[in-house]
Structure 1
Amino acid sequence: MNRVAVRKILRGSSLAVLGAVSPAYAQGEAGAGELENIIVTARRVEERVQDVPISITVFNQQQLTKQNVVNSSDLAAFTPSLSANSNFGNENSSFAIRGFVQDLGTLPSVGVYFADVVAPRGSSNGSFPVGDGAGPGSFFDLQNVQVLKGPQGTLFGRNTTGGAVLLVPQRPTHELGGYVQASAGNLDMQRLQGVVNAPLGDKAALRLGIDQQTRDGYVENTSGIGPDDFGDVDYTAYRASLTVELTPDLENYAIFSRSDSRTNGVFGKLVAADAAVGLGFFGAQQLADQEADGDGFYDARQDLANPLSDLQQWQLINTTTWQVHEDLTFKNIISYAELTQDLRSAMFGTAFVTPALGALLPSYRVGFASIQPIPGGHTGDQSTFTEEMRLDGAGFDNALTWQTGAYVERSEPLSAVGSQSPVAISCTDVAALECTDVLGFLGSLATGTYAPAGAINYTSGKTEFNNVGLYAQGTYQFSGNLALTAGLRYTWDRQESTSTKRAYQFNPPLDPVTFAPLPPEVTAVRCANPDAPTDSCTLDFEQETDEPTWLIGLDYTPADDMLLYAKYARGYRAGTIASDLSAPFNYIRPERVDAYEIGSKFTFHGTFNGIFNAAVFFNDFENQQLQLGFNDNPADDIAVAPTAGPVNAGASEIYGVELEAAITPFEGFTIEAGYTYLNTEITEMPVFTVPPSSPYVITGKQQEGDELALSPEHKYTISARYTLPLDESMGEVTLGVMFIHTDEQLSNYVDDGLIGSDFEGLSYLPETDIVNANLSWDSVGGSAFDLLVFGTNLTDEEYFTFVPGLAEGAGFETAQLGLPRMYGVQLRYRFGN
């Protein structure tokens, strides 16, 4: 690390100490003095958070509820070092930690685990993300959520180069009790929750829960086509868990969960256009119409009559724990899950209309590009089976604690999945292939020669994943409060994929010579991938990768309330297949990272109680998997939708600082703090080219010296909470407020390269300052009722959450919109214990 880098880190550290704060260790109403006793499972055993040599952010259910967290994007909004890409909707968000992003077509860089089991996959054949995350209904009835930062590959397995997010559900207890909860808010938000816990004799306990929420969308559709609003919420989640003590030394813990979400989805709002490029003429026309109609920030237009984002998933997890003897425990974790997605989305917020040509030709609606399922199929349909056997033990008078295990994962397609998507063409029935090539005809009037301009892209396939891992990790406690931790994992990955890609071309509305009307029929079927055989347009792909990952760490406790640690870890993200693209971009090699971190955790008591934790990290990447943009090749006679796919960058570096603090200056008042400084840079980037026969051209090339996407340099939160000094018979009234600052962050590598255009500046998402607040009254008047009033984004800040980078080829740009001010009230009734 050079001298400039060190100075930046120190400057960021000074800023954080002076005033940056976060909910990093905010456990509901716990004061700073109690935070040290929070129990986490970051190393797959229960430990106090202040004793774990890992940078961790922890939230319990009360904290999540008061901040109105219902999806992954909500969690990322107020967690330092954590970002979310919600380009395909909040139910399909992917996480990024410390700049480790998951781009389109890549495997996750952040593993999401529920009850020690990785989130189910949902392969969509590389076209768009689904699965591998925390779906709708994941954030209710939890013990806590733990965000682990940095590679976790030794104990958690596949694809955790950036870290892991652990969702720990509430376990059944041997006490009868539960709650019923109702919430209401703006945008007609309605949410109902219910949980009941019951003992079943002396040896078993059952816990049942349901969470159901509906809410109108916050993006108003002003096109007059399709639903009135987008970005809505409509899900129901169920959970049932059962613990059985089979013998004093043998316990079985089973969890069944299911969620069903059906919404209108999301799409980007048109925000800029260049009439001289691509379809920018139509984009400029739409922008003029939006301005003339007085469209506001949350007004947008799209052209699908029946958009849909439907996500269904269920998972069964069974954990058997056998206490073999005092120093040896055997645990078996087996799971099976299924995930099905149907996505029908205009995606890019266009409602283009061609000009009428008098009596010759009426105006037509022409879609730019949309996602629609293949006829009779889904956009995602995958099963995931996992099996893990683990031994935990201790030796040398408990100086050595260790764990070792074997892991197997198999994810298979339940059916062929994909999309049948119109591109720059006017369709009355996409599934029936009833479309008209209006743009091709208009082009023939200008050039005198007809050439097809639009098409329907048909992409379908199946993807199978197989993963095997063997691992061991141990910690040896030397005398003098010094401990050494070492771990090793070896992982084998295999991915097989079959892909069929066709382009359907259609008649123009009129014969280009005679101007006689023509029916909306298919005129040609072409293979959209030039490498595929022309009879089937189908290609088969297979790739195997294997890598060791490891961890070596030292931690030192000079006092009971202080932990110092240093560690070095190797992270690995499996290679993958981009079957949606043409050669030479089909195979992506494994990504490796060498991660170095030093940190401290300090708990203090006395006049003030509190904690202060710090971590400095440096990550050195090799073959990092980054996203490259692909636009339609104008020299090719097949129209394809713009897409993106992963490539291996030569190298990149990430370094930064994380600070977390909490203090209780007097009884009832707690201030919590967190800050992240992040510096990312691509240090080597190969030059990529496409063969002349490719239907794509490359756009938005990263260059050496560029930063990584979704990696704000500074992010911090400041929160304060005060509990009124009321008599216990009145209940407990607490007021909380939180301020969240996020620096500007890169969203795409295209727009800022178009210097002097209206697109310049759209590569970056502007900085945001968000204020949230809540007022809770627990045990109202000494009763079993709890009341909560909450609000998020109270200043109603308007901001973008993603800009894809379409401008270079499409001639226009769109942006996803962030949530407006949200507020609501919640009433809970508790019964039993």
Structure 2
Amino acid sequence: MTKKRYFALIASTSLASVLAPKAGAQEAAGRNVSTANADIIVTARRVEERLQDVPISITVFNQQEISRANIVNAEDLAKLTPSLSANTSFGSENSTFAIRGFVQDIGTAPSVGNYFADVVAPRGGSPSIPSGDGAGPGSFFDLQNVQVLKGPQGTLFGRNTTGGAVLLVPQKPTSAFEGYVEGTLGNYDQRRLQAVVNIPVAETFRVRLGVDRQKRDGWLRNTSGIGPSRFNDIDYLAARASIVADLTPNLENYMIASYTKSDTSGPLQKLIACNPGVALGDFACAQLADAEAKAEGFYTARSDVEGAKSKTETWQVINTTTWQASDHLTVKNIASYAQLKQTLRSALFGTQFSTPAIPGFLPSVPFNFATVIPAPNAKGLSNQSTFTEEFQLQGNSGDGRLTWQAGVYYERSAPLSLTGSQSPNTINCTDIAQLQCTDILGFLANLNPNVTPLVVAGIIPPIQAGSVNYTVGRLTTRSIGTYAQANYALTDQLKLTAGIRYTWDRQQSDTAQISYLFPTFPVPVGPPTASCTRGNTSLPDCALQLSQKSSAPTWLVGLDFKPVEDLLLYAKYARGYRTGGIKSDAPVAFSVFRPEKVDAYEIGLKSSFRGPVRGNFNVAAFYNDFSDQQLQVGFADNPAVNGGVSATAGPVNAGRSRIYGVEVEAGLNPFDGLSLNASYAYLNTRIKSVDLPQLPPTDPYIVSSTVLPGDQLALAPKHKVVLAANYMLPLGEGVGAVSVGATYSHTGKQRVNYAARDAASIAANGGRDIGVLAPIDLLNLNFDWRRIAGSPVDLSLFMTNVTKERYYTFTPGLFAVAGFEVANLGEPQTYGARLRYSF
């Protein structure tokens, strides 16, 4: 289908049913308004319902809470949400969500669906670095609310929601002329400007326009003198236009167009440990010693890449048409088209290595360990389009005992161009694109007195240590699903819910992977030799075509019982499904993987209490049973083959796991003005069995890290606590509404990789498993003065990470294989002020 036909379909769609979310939220105070839970409206089941009436474990944030907590990306949201984590392996802008231990790893489909206005986030097409699928820059402004749904949502939201779903609900145009302008100033030279205007052009035509511009210096200082001086900066522009047209009294068309552009230095990991005598461990130890001697500090790292850059550009058009056919039937159509483009030029692991000087013979020579550079003939790492189409019917019986919905869903993600990278690996390059490189480590290895005679005699070939790896390709995915779900009131207090969905998925990839090796003996000079990275392809282009098909049903059966108005008890069983896929840069035996399935069981209670002391108490207990689980396995260069391939990782259907836990959310208003909230998640995960296929000795890769029976799942802390308090000062109305608040979060220790768990590695790291992150404790404070002296002006002051906690959010697991470890750092203390003028 051509691009013009995509636009024509979106613009001309005219069948529909009502979904106009009006969620939430009492203005008065953020996650700190406990009694608001009884009245918050959510769309977790694709219809509007009170939060306390929905038999799903849900956490909801309104826009005021999002602003107060300074939430601008997935990582920020995860800090304040029980059972929600963020995978930050490639920086905060590329973070993806994990819920209850369900994680999206490199090469897999999401396990947590991210939806904006009922439409899935634009997909990315990179085989090696996650892109798309998450909540990127500019996603968290002018929202009605954010809903975090926990547990499989596969009936109504489709496959790839085994862990849950995150719903971003934008503010819909209203019938009032209103808007606001908001400015923020903060440390690290933070500057943010938001402006929104709502225009009722006519009684039947309403428009809402918004823009969000934010710029902030990076808080991670680059001490190498190469490339940008700061990393982890923010620099984005987000714009949104929404239009509601009442075509007839019963026919509504709602269109959203959004655009985001981010241009930063990108992420950079910090070298934190070395393993002397292992691979590049001695070089890492030298870098660490030099950094310590120069007292570089915690929030520093080193990049060896000139012009490091991360650019992301996304635009999306969503058309929702709603037709109220009768009192008992609503018809809805949702169509969308999006494009995502991403370019990354980055030193992946924050190293600045150089060979030692040999006096009178060879000066010190720098070399790149692992770097991502766009391939010369490719347009970045991702350049992908996503088209979705959903037709939905909603209805109810005349007596109101039966409500139902059914629909058909289609999604296609297609490449707009060739994408990929050309990356040096332990080699010195003056021009990577033109392959002007020197394998200095290989040259030095051949000078070893024990090696040189064997090479000269032809007994062994010259040692080659470095390479440049060229990987480009295209990835196309298609998904078709059909579903139905119904709720039936068996009695006035007891309801039965049942739903089923069937999904057909297909993926196809076309890739080329070439490794370039360079002369090392007798001198490191000359043109490179090309070879195919994969043994089942051939020169000159090393082309490879792979495809994967899968299909599966998902379902839900549940009972909910409401003995009184403010008490809900529920129990449910659901089957979740995450599609299989293709990992073209993994070893041949692991390049295609199958779907994974999960059986989820959950019981829960939701209660509200009123009177002089008001509040709510919600609890959910769950058990999940995985089969054919997609487990992440690390692969490294096989020294016996000397293939010169870069380390990689990929999913393998190798395991069975179980997950169980409890989630509690409670709120209390002991007296007017004070609200207290507490949430807690207990998560117990365990891999029950692992069946990992073996690689042949002649494969260019070896397995460098894998999971073992008894392991905890990654990004699944056993304990997570969030406590919040907000107090509204008893001042007169003429002064305005003044409140102070605090939020504390504790995230228990969690595993993030499965490498370096052998006794030697643990001993080399001082007796600590480097794949387990230490607990994290964060405290945030805020001050809000709304309607200052009766004016339309609001003032807010905020401070995050008040105690200046220093912590890591991810380590990739290089210690045992590469001889060192790096980490993503958590954000330091930030503070600032916001001023808003509303009209």
Return the alpha-carbon distance in structure 2 between the equivalents of residues 694 and 77 of structure 1: 41
The amino acid of 1:635's aligned partner reads A
Matched letter for residue 476 of structure 2: E
Structure 2 counterpart of 1:432, from 420, 431, 434? 434
Letter in structure 1 aligned against 2:489: Q
Q: Does the aligned pair in 1 maintain the 2:632–2:706 contact within 8 Å?
A: no
Work out which of the residue numbers 682, 696, 700 in structure 1 matches 2:687: 682
Give the secondary structure class of the aligned counterpart of 2:510. Answer: strand
How does 1:420-499 map onto structure 2 within 5 Å? 420-446=422-448, 447-448=451-452, 449=455, 450-499=462-511
Give CA-to-partner distance per residue, 1:438-457, whole Å, 9 cap, x none: 01100011121332110100
Does residue 1:83 correspond to 2:81, yes or no?
no
1:604 and 1:729 map into 2 onto residues whose CA distance is 32
Q: Which residue of 2 aligns with 1:29?
A: 29
User: What per-residue deviation string (whole Å, max 9, x for no partner) do you get for residues 485-514 of structure 1?
Assistant: 000000000000111100112234xxx44x
SS of 1:345's equivalent in the other structure is strand
Write the distance in 2 (CA, Å) between the matches of 1:226 and 1:610. 53
Instruction: Tell me what 1:106 maps to.
Output: 108
Q: State how far apart, in whole Å, the 1-side matches of 2:728 and 2:148 are.
A: 27
Query: Number of residues paired by the alignment?
Result: 800
Question: Secondary structure in 2 aligned to 1:657?
Answer: strand
8 Å Cα contact 2:630-2:655 kept in structure 1: no
The one-letter amino acid of 1:39's match is: I
1:615 corresponds to:
620
Distance in 1 (CA, whole Å) between partners of 2:677 and 2:214 is: 30
What is the identity percentage for the equivalent residue pairs of Structure 1 and Structure 2?
54
Which one of the candidate residues 711, 723, 734 is aligned to 1:718?
723
1:74 corresponding residue in structure 2: 76
**In the alignment, what sits opposite 2:790?**
782
Q: 1:351 deviation in Å?
A: 0.1
Q: Counterpart in 2 of 1:4?
A: none
Aligned to 2:554: 549
Do structure 1's residue 695 and structure 2's residue 700 form an aligned pair?
yes
Compare 821-830 and 758-767 and name the one that shifted more.
758-767
Quick check: 1:176–1:197 contact (8 Å CA) kept in 2? yes
Task: Please name the residue that 1:757 is paired with.
Answer: 764
Q: CA deviation at 1:396?
A: 4.6
Shift of 1:26: 8.8
Question: Is the aligned partner of 1:188 residue 2:200?
Answer: no
Provide, for residues 238-282 of structure 1, a one-character-per-residue CA deviation record: whole Å limited to 9, x for no partner. Answer: 000000000001000000001000111112111111221111121
**Paired amino acid for 2:494:** L
Structure 2 gaps, min length 5: 1-23, 456-461
Amino acid aligned to 1:233 = I
Query: What is the aligned partner in structure 1 of residue 340 from structure 2?
Result: 339
**1:610 Cα deviation (Å)?**
0.4
Query: Where do 1:27-176 residues align within 5 Å?
Result: 29=29, 31-124=33-126, 126-176=127-177
Per-residue deviation, 1:536:
2.6
**1:176-325 map, 5 Å:** 176-325=177-326
Partner Cα distance (1:65, 1:477) in 2: 40
Paired residue secondary structure (2:176): coil
2:823 is the alignment partner of 1:822: no
1:100-142 CA distance string (max 9 Å, x none): 0111111000000000000010110x21100011111000000
Deviation at 1:668, TM superposition (A): 0.6
Shift of the alpha carbon at 1:360?
2.1
CA contact (8 A) 2:505 2:579 kept: yes
Q: Tell me, yes or no, if structure 1 residue 655 matches structure 2 residue 660.
A: yes
SS of corresponding position for 1:442: helix
Q: CA deviation at 1:776?
A: 0.4
Q: Write out per-residue CA displacement over residues 776-826 of structure 1, whole angstroms, 9 at most, x where no aligned residue.
A: 000011111100000110000000000100112111111110000011100
1:374-453 to structure 2, matched below 5 A, reads 374-377=375-378, 378-446=380-448, 447-448=451-452, 449=455, 450-453=462-465
The CA distance in 2 between the partners of 1:301 and 1:34, in whole Å, is 47
Aligned mates of 1:350, 1:244 — CA distance in 2: 55
Structure 1 residues 809 and 53 mapped into 2: Cα distance closer, same or farther (>3 Å)? same
Residues 27 and 58 in structure 1, CA contact (< 8 A), matched pair in contact too: no
Paired with 1:612 and 1:523, the residues of 2 have a C-alpha distance of 66
Separation in structure 2 between the aligned mates of residue 526 and residue 601 of structure 1, nearest angstrom: 61
Q: Does 1:533 align with 2:533?
A: no
The residue type equivalent to 1:113 in the other structure is Y
TM-score, normalised with respect to structure 1: 0.95
Residue 359 of structure 1: how far off its partner (Å): 3.1
Q: Secondary structure at the match of 1:128?
A: coil
| SS of 2:325 mapped into structure 1 | strand
Query: Structure 1 residue 558: deviation in Å?
Result: 0.4
1:16-42 Cα offsets, whole Å, 9 max, x none, are xxxxxxxx9997627322321000000
- For the residues of structure 2 that align with 1:429 and 1:685, how far apart are their CA atoms? 43
Runs of 4 or more above 4 Å deviation: 24-28
| AA at the equivalent of 2:245 | V
Match of 1:811 among 797, 819, 825: 819
Partner Cα distance (1:406, 1:744) in 2: 42
1:603 aligns with 2:605: no
Cα distance in 1 for partners of 2:155, 2:506 equals 19
Quick one: which amino acid aligns to residue 710 of structure 2? G
Q: Which residue of 1 aligns with 2:781?
A: 773
1:666-677 matches, within 5 Å, as: 666-677=671-682
Q: What does the per-residue CA deviation read over 1:296-335, in whole Å, with 9 as the maximum and x for residues that have no partner?
A: 1111112001111100000000000000011100000000
Distance in 1 (alpha carbons) for counterparts of 2:407 and 2:692: 42
Listed one character per residue, the Cα deviations across residues 690-716 of structure 1 (whole Å, up to 9, x for unaligned) are 122322111222111111001000001
Distance 2:129 2:644 in 1: 19
RMSD: 1.3
Q: Give the counterpart letter for 2:615 in structure 1.
A: G
Cα deviation code 1:137-160 (max 9, x no counterpart): 000000000000000000001200
- Whether the aligned pair in 2 keeps the contact of 1:593 and 1:622 (CA below 8 Å) is yes
